[in-house]
Amino acid sequence: MSAKAVDDQSIDELVSRAQAEGLQLTGEGGLLQQLAKRLLESALEGEITDHLGYAQRDPTGKNGGNSRWSGPSRPATSPSPS
């Protein structure tokens, strides 16, 4: 792999496609916000996988006392179901 993980051509294509579809590049719901969210989620998923030693839904962690919950996610700010 080269030193540059994402090449300029790929970024240019992504930006052009977003603009063609009418997606804002910045601001609420924009391309930058969506990319940052995906990047952070991916990085955090990798961190927890490294920490626990197995991927989410891997049978290795089942009933091990440190299992990863695999149900549907909801935002942390949502109230808990009653």
Instruction: Give the helix, strand, coil percentages of the chain, each rounded to 5.
Output: 45, 0, 55
d(CA 38, CA 44): 10
Q: Copy the structure tokens of residue 69.
A: 């919950």
Q: Is the pTM of this model over 0.75?
A: no
For tokens 């961190």, name the residue.
Answer: 47
Domain ranges of the chain: 10-56
DSSP reduced 3-state for 5: coil
pLDDT 10s per residue in the chain (82 long)? 455 778 899 999 999 999 999 999 999 999 999 999 999 999 999 998 898 888 887 777 777 666 666 556 666 665 656 5
Phi, psi of 29 (to 5 degrees): 80, 5
Q: What is the pLDDT of residue 82?
A: 54
